[in-house]
Structure 1
Amino acid sequence: MYPIIFLSITGLLTLFLGFLKNRALILPLSILFLIVGLGLNFLDWNAPGLYFSEMLEISNHLIIVQSILIISAALILGLGFGLFSDLDSHPAEYFAIIQLTLVGALIMVSFQNLLMLFVGLEILSLGLYVLTGSDKRNLRGNEAAIKYFLMGSFATGILLFGIAMYYGASGSFNIHSTINLAGAKFEGKIFFYISILFVLIGLLFKVSAAPFHFWTADVYQGAPTLFTAYMATIVKTAGFFAIYRLFSTAFSFEYDLWVNIIVGAIILSLLIGNVTAVFQNSFKRMLAFSSVSQAGFMLFSIIGLGANSASSLGFYSASYALATVTAFGVLLIVSGSHLENGRPNENIEVFNGLFKKSPLLAVVLMVSMLSLSGIPLTSGFWGKFFVFNDAASKGFLWLLVFAVIMSAVSIYYYFKPVRASFSNKSVHEGEIELSAATKYTLILSTVLTILLGIAPQLLKGIL
C-alpha cells in the first residue's frame, strides 16, 4: 500500500523537477524515489490485510511481486544515464510517467475488486501510449503509438464488458463474490461464462499472448529502446499476476471450462512467437516475438494452477525481467554508437565484433540470451522448470513436449546476436561509450541472473 501512495506523490513531484536548471539531477532522484518506495513496501511485511474499502490486498507474497516490479523499473532507469542530454528532451515528464505507470502495475497485482483492476490497467496503459510515441521525430514511433493506443482501447473495452458481465452474474466486483455461482445451473451462469471469455481476451492482449499479439512487434520496434524495455518487463509481470489472481479466485471453480482456451493460447503463442522470431533481422522485433513466446511459457503456471503456481510465476517474471533489461540495455548502448541515417541501428548485425570492442557487453548479452532460452545455470532455466512442473502436475505432458521443442527452436534465434558479437566482423569503428551507472546496472542484472540460476531458492523460497 505504501509504495502506491508514495510513488503517486513522487510522480507528481518529478514533474516539477523539470523546472530545475540542472536536469542531470532528475534521473538520480527518480531512482532514489524508487529505492525509497521499495523500502516502504516492506513496512507491510507480516501484516496482511485489505485496504481502501477491501479493494486492495497486501500479503508477503504480493510484497515480493511488487518489489520485483519496482526493482525492474529501477534497473531500467539505471540504463538511462546520458540519454536525455539534448535541450529538446523533457526527462522529468518521462520519469514522472514511469513512476505513475508503475503505480498502475502495483495496483494490478494486488487488486481485490475488478474496478481497481480496471483503474490500474488504465493508469499503466495510458502512460505507455505516451512513452511509445515520445520520440516525436521518429515516424515509426508515431505509427506505433497510435496503433498501440487504438488497439489497446479496443482491448480495454472488451475487458470492461467482461467486468460488467461479471457484475451481472455475481452482483459484485469483488473477486471472491462468485462462490455462490459454483452450484448454479448453466442459465444462471451465462453472464459469468461471457465474463471469463471477455476478461481473458482483454488481459491476453495486454501481455501480448497469441492470437492477440499483432501490436507487439511494431510497438516494440517503434518505441524508444529504454521504454520498450520498461514495457516488456513491467506489463508482462503486472498482466500475468492480474490473470493469476482472477483465475485462482473468481474463475477457479470453472477450471475445466477456461483451461482449454488457455491451452490454445499457449500453443499459438509458442508456435507463432518462436517460428516468427527465427526470421527477424531486427533485434527489437526478435525480442518482440520472443515475448509472445515467453507469454506462452508463463501461461503454464495458469493451467497448472496449484499451491506453487504463484511462486513459479513470480520466479519466471523476475528471471524474464532481468534478462530482458540486460538485452535491451546492451542494444541501447551499442545501437546508440552506430547510427544509420541519423537513427540507431537496431538490427542484429550491429552486434558484429562486439566482443573485440567491449568484452563486458558481449558477455552480459550472452548471459541474457542464455537465460531467455532456458539454458541451465541461468535463472531462465529454473523459471521454465518451475512452470513446467506446475503444468505436469495437471497432466499436460503432451503440451510440455511441444513446449520443449519450441524451446529448442528459440535457441537458434537467441544465439544469433551471440554469434554476431563473437564474430570477426565489426561495424564499430570507435570506442563504445559506457557510463558507470549503465555498466553497474548491466553487471548487477547479469549477476542476479546467474545467482538465481545457481541458487533459485533464494527467491523461490520467499515467494
Structure 2
Amino acid sequence: MTSIILLSVLGIVNLFFGFLKSNKILLPAAMVILALVFGVNLIDWNADAQSYFNNMLTIDRYSVAFTGIVVLTTLLLIPFSEKYVRDGQENLAEYYSLLLFSLVGAIMMVSYDNLLMLFVGIEILSVSMYVVAGSDKRNVRSNEAALKYFLMGSFATGILLFGIALVYGATGTFQLTQINAGIVNPANASLQPMLYIGMLLMFIGISFKVSAAPFHYWTPDVYEGTPTFFTAFMSTVVKTAGFAGFFKLLMAAFFAAKGFWVPTIMAITILTLLIGNVGAVAQTSIKRMLAYSSISHAGYLFIGLVAVNGKLSANAIFFYSLAYSIATVAAFAVLKLVSDQRQREDYASFNGLAKTNPLLAFVMTVAMLSLAGIPLTGGFFGKFFTFGAAIDRGYIGLVVFAVVMSMVSIYYYLRPIIAMYMQPAEDETVAPIQVSGFQSAVLVLLALLTVLLGVLPGLFSEVFK
C-alpha cells in the first residue's frame, strides 16, 4: 500500500518539475522515485499480509513480488529516455508521471481481492497507455496507434465489465474467495450459464490486455506506431501485471470451475503460440518482430495458467515474467538507440553493428538468446519452469507443441544476430551509434542479470514457498 501512495503522491510532485525551464532534473527525479518505491516495496516482503479498503486490496508476498518486477523493469527502462531530455521533449514531466500513475494500476492488478479493484487497476494502467501511445503527436503512425489502441481497448473494457457484472449476478459477490464458494454452492446451480458466459467475457477482456490471440490484432500496429520507449513499457509492465492478475483470478475466484475454463485457456494458448511465432517469422521490421514475439511469450505464460499448479505455477510465472521483462527491456533499449540515430527499424539497420558498437551487439545477442530460450540465459529456465508445471499436470502434448514453437522462434531471434555479426554495414561512413556511459552501464547490467538468471535460477525460482 505504501508503494501505491508513494507513486501517486510523487507522480503528482513530478508534474511540477515540468514548470522548470530545463528537463535535466526529470530523469534523475524519476529514477529516484522508482528506486525509493522499489526499496519500500521490498520492506513489505517479510511483513504480514495486510488488507485495505474492506478487503478489496491485499498486500502479501505475491503482490510484493510482482510489484518488484514492474517497478524494477521501469527503473531499468527509464535511462533510455535520455534522448528526450537532451532534445528538450515537451511534456516530458507529464509522460514520466503517466508511467508512475500506470504503475499504480499495475500494482492494483497484482494486489486485488475484489473484481472492482481489478477493473480500476486495469483502467488506470490502460488510460495511461492510451496517452503515451500517441505521445509523438507529429508522427502519423503514433496517432494511428493511439486511436486504434483506445478504440479497441474501450471495447475490450466494456466486454470485461459486462463479464464482471454477469459473474456478480451469478454469485452475488465481487470478492474472489466468495466467488469461488458461490460456484460450488448448489443454490447457484441454475445460474451456471450466466457464470460461464461472464467468465468467458472476462477472459476476452484480459486476453486483449496481454496480447493473446485471437485478441491480438491491435498489437503489431500499436507497438510499431508507439514511440519505442513506451512500447518497451507496454510489452513488459502491462504483460507482467496482466498475467499476475489473471493467475490470481483463476486460482482464487474460478478454481472450482477449472473443468470449464482449462480447455478454453488451452485453446487460447495454442492459438497464441502459433500466431505469435509464425507471424514473427514474416516480419521485416525488428519492432514488429518484437511485437509478435510479445504475443508468443503471452502463449508461454498461458501454459502456466493452464497448469493450475498452485505455487509451482506461481513461481514459474514469476520467473518467466522477470526473465522476459529484463531481456525485452534490453532488446528495446538497443533498438531505440539504433533507430534514433539511423532512423530505421528494419534488420538492415543492425548490419555490421558488432564492428561499430560491440557492446550494443553483445547485449542484443544476449537478449535474443534469452527470448529464444537458449541455455545459460534466464529465458531458458523461464520456459523450463513453465513447461515443468504443465508436465506435472500431464499436459505433455501442449508442452511438445510449445517446444516446436520455440524451435521456430530461433529463426527470427537469430536474424538480428546474423545482421550484427555476419553482414557488412550498408554504409561504412555512417557514424557509430552513440551511447552514454550511464546507458552503457545499464545495458551491461541487463545482460548480466539475464545471464545470472540462467546460471543461478534458484535465486528467484522459489519465491513462493
Under TM normalisation by the shorter chain, which class is it? over 0.9
Q: 2:330 aligns to what? A: 326
Q: Does 1:235 align with 2:235?
A: no
Letter in 2 for 1:200: F
1:99-130 Cα offsets, whole Å, 9 max, x none, are 00011001101101111111110000000011
How far did 1:404 drift?
0.6
Q: Under a length normalisation based on structure 2, what TM-score does the superposition of the two structures give?
A: 0.97
Q: Which of 310, 313, 317 is the equivalent residue of 1:309? A: 313
Contact 1:57 1:112 in 2 (8 A): yes
Structure 1 segment 206-285 matched on structure 2, within 5 A:
206-285=209-288
Cα distance in structure 1, aligned partners of 2:434 and 2:45: 41
Secondary structure, aligned partner of 1:82 = helix
Cα distance in structure 2, aligned partners of 1:322 and 1:180: 40
Count of matched residue pairs: 458
Cα distance in structure 2, aligned partners of 1:3 and 1:305: 29
Contact 2:57 2:117 in 1 (8 A): yes
How far did 1:183 drift?
4.2
Q: Does 1:40 align with 2:40?
A: yes
Secondary structure, aligned partner of 1:57 = strand
How far did 1:186 drift?
4.2
How far did 1:43 drift?
3.1
Contact 2:211 2:219 in 1 (8 A): yes
Cα distance in structure 2, aligned partners of 1:233 and 1:304: 22
Letter in 1 for 2:391: A
Cα distance in structure 1, aligned partners of 2:366 and 2:170: 48
Cα distance in structure 1, aligned partners of 2:432 and 2:115: 52
How far did 1:420 drift?
0.3
Secondary structure, aligned partner of 1:299 = helix
Secondary structure, aligned partner of 2:86 = coil
Q: 1:456 aligns to what? A: 457
Q: 2:394 aligns to what? A: 395
Letter in 2 for 1:271: L
Greater helix share, structure number: 2
Cα distance in structure 1, aligned partners of 2:271 and 2:50: 38
How far did 1:83 drift?
2.5
Comparing 186-195 with 11-20, which one deviates more in the overlay? 186-195
Secondary structure, aligned partner of 1:301 = helix
Cα distance in structure 1, aligned partners of 2:200 and 2:438: 45
Q: Does 1:376 align with 2:375?
A: yes
Letter in 2 for 1:421: M
Contact 2:178 2:253 in 1 (8 A): yes
Letter in 2 for 1:181: I
How far did 1:432 drift?
1.3
Contact 1:217 1:288 in 2 (8 A): yes
Cα distance in structure 2, aligned partners of 1:34 and 1:419: 36
Cα distance in structure 2, aligned partners of 1:250 and 1:42: 27
Q: What are structure 1's unaligned runs of at least 5 residues?
A: 339-343
Contact 2:63 2:107 in 1 (8 A): no
1:204-253 Cα offsets, whole Å, 9 max, x none, are 00000000000000000000000000000001000001110100011001
How far did 1:188 drift?
2.7
Comparing 198-207 with 82-91, which one deviates more in the overlay? 82-91
Letter in 2 for 1:205: F
Cα distance in structure 2, aligned partners of 1:87 and 1:299: 41
Contact 1:3 1:37 in 2 (8 A): yes
Cα distance in structure 2, aligned partners of 1:155 and 1:15: 30
1:58-108 Cα offsets, whole Å, 9 max, x none, are 112321211111000111102111333334522101100000001100110
Secondary structure, aligned partner of 2:83 = coil
Q: Does 1:11 align with 2:11?
A: yes
Moved over 3 A (4+): none
Letter in 2 for 1:19: F
Contact 2:133 2:225 in 1 (8 A): yes
Secondary structure, aligned partner of 1:24 = coil
Cα distance in structure 2, aligned partners of 1:310 and 1:90: 39
Q: Which of 183, 196, 199 is the equivalent residue of 1:196? A: 199
Contact 1:81 1:437 in 2 (8 A): no
Q: 2:294 aligns to what? A: 291
Q: What are structure 2's unaligned runs of at least 5 residues?
A: none
Cα distance in structure 1, aligned partners of 2:78 and 2:439: 9
Secondary structure, aligned partner of 1:98 = helix
Contact 1:79 1:441 in 2 (8 A): no
Q: 2:182 aligns to what? A: 180
Contact 2:134 2:142 in 1 (8 A): yes
Q: Under a length normalisation based on structure 1, what TM-score does the superposition of the two structures give?
A: 0.97
Cα distance in structure 1, aligned partners of 2:296 and 2:26: 36
RMSD, aligned CA? 1.1
Q: 1:444 aligns to what? A: 445
How far did 1:21 drift?
2.3
